[in-house]
Every structure is written in structure tokens, then in C-alpha cells.
Amino acid sequence: MEARDLRVSDAEREHVGELLQRAVGQGMLSLGEFTERMDTALAAKTRAELNVVLVDLPGIQLISEFTPPPYPDQPYVSRPVPPVPPTVHRSPAPPPGDVVRGRMSSVSRTGSWNVPPALEVNTRLSTVTLDFTRAVMSTQVVHVTIDDYASTISLVVPEEATVDLNGVETVGGSATNKVRTGPPIGPLHVVVRGKVRFGSVTAKHPFGTSIRRMFG
């Protein structure tokens, strides 16, 4: 079997996403082109399909020894065989079942859902809502780790809750805290960390909270 026909993993798709992000930062791709190529990368099943979004970007290393046809309609350029990308070391993941995944979709956790002590949000081009107002808590402090590309993530918390967004790194995106921050002084404290690329994460109260507070 040729290298082009090998199946790709989530780690390889993520590596390509980081290369596309770098291309945006260097002015080689617009945000629209980035989104289009991310869609292609997330849907890729083989290395040939995955590498096609990189081949016309100068100085960008492909993920294997195979050099696919140009993308799109660019003259073919012979490229040297790139080195194997280094292994990415990550912090320990939350226990199985405590991961919220979304790929070009809408994901929500609302009502009386059971909230674990640690929660990972792994999303691409999605809309995510985590509503803690009526959730069943197992601990006072909840740690949320975000790994996202171009998604809209909303954390809805009760009025007495606090949220810490200081550990969120944004690349072409935003992290907005509309609630109290600081140490865990109430029944719920949400600590958020991770990386948001061309997306947004917002901590807020339920709709109408400010109006109810205004009228006592």
C-alpha cells in the first residue's frame, strides 16, 4: 500500500489544522480559505486527501512522504521529503465519557445533566452550549479544557457562580467573561483553560438575569 492511501488520525488532522493556522498568520490564506480547507481536512480519510490542502503553501511541510496533486489548479512543484513531525505531548485527558466533541455541528448540555470534575471540549466549526444552571454537580470546582477551531462556545452559569477564563489562549478569537471571576466563593467555580483558534468562548448568566436583578 502506498503512503497516499494510508488512513489518517485525528492527530494528523490537527497537525494540518495548525499548519493552516500558521498560513493565515503569514498572510498566505484568508479566513474564508482557512475555513474551506479546514472543512476538507476534517473530512479527509487518507493522507492524499489531507495533504491536498497544503501542497500550494510554500514552506509548509506535508504530513508524509507523499506529495499530492496541487490544490487547486496550481502548477505542480517538486518538494523535498519533509521530516516526520515531532510528537506532541499533551496533558492527561479527562476520564472517558467526559469529552464533548463537535465537528461542524451543534452540541448542548442542558437541564439536569451530570457534570464531572473535569470536562474536555474538543470542537471544530461547531456551536457548543454548556448550561450549568440546573446541572447536577459532583464537585464545587469544575475544570474545562478547550481545544477548538472556529467554534462558538457558551458557558451558562447560575448567578452565584464564578468563572476563571485566564487560562484560555486565543488565536484570532475571543474569550469573554460576563460573570464574576476570582477564587471559588460560591457553590460553583468553573476554571477554563486551553486554546481557541478563530472562535469564541463566553461565560454568562442565563438570559434575563440582569433584568430580574434590576427589579429585585
Q: Looking up cell 490542502, which residue turns up?
A: 53
- Residue 109 and residue 33: Cα distance in Å, rounded? 31
pLDDT at 93: 45
pLDDT at 50: 87
- Residue 54 and residue 69: Cα distance in Å, rounded? 10
3-state secondary structure of 29: coil
Return per-residue pLDDT of the chain as tens, 216 residues: 677 778 888 888 888 888 888 888 788 888 888 888 888 888 889 988 888 888 888 877 666 544 444 555 444 444 454 454 554 444 444 444 489 999 999 999 999 999 999 999 999 999 999 999 999 988 999 999 999 999 999 999 999 999 999 999 999 889 999 999 877 778 899 999 999 999 999 999 997 655 455 555
- Residue 194 and residue 103: Cα distance in Å, rounded? 18
With beta carbons less than 8 A apart as the criterion, state whether 79 and 62 touch: yes
pLDDT at 1: 63
46: left (phi over 0), alpha (psi -120 to 50) or beta: beta
- Residue 60: phi and psi, rounded to 5, are -95, 125
**DSSP for 45-72?**
-BHHHHHTTTTTSTTPPPSSS-----SS
With beta carbons less than 8 A apart as the criterion, state whether 82 and 62 touch: yes
pLDDT at 61: 63
pLDDT at 74: 47
Cell of 138: 459532583
pLDDT at 65: 45
pTM for the predicted model, two decimal places = 0.58
Alpha carbon 124 to its chain centroid, in Å, reads 5
| Beta partners for residue 82, in sequence order | none
pLDDT at 67: 45
- Residue 99 and residue 145: Cα distance in Å, rounded? 9
Strands (DSSP E) along the chain, which ranges?
99-103, 106-109, 114-115, 118-124, 127-131, 136-137, 141-149, 152-156, 162-171, 174-177, 189-197, 200-204
Cell of 148: 477548538
With beta carbons less than 8 A apart as the criterion, state whether 105 and 40 touch: no
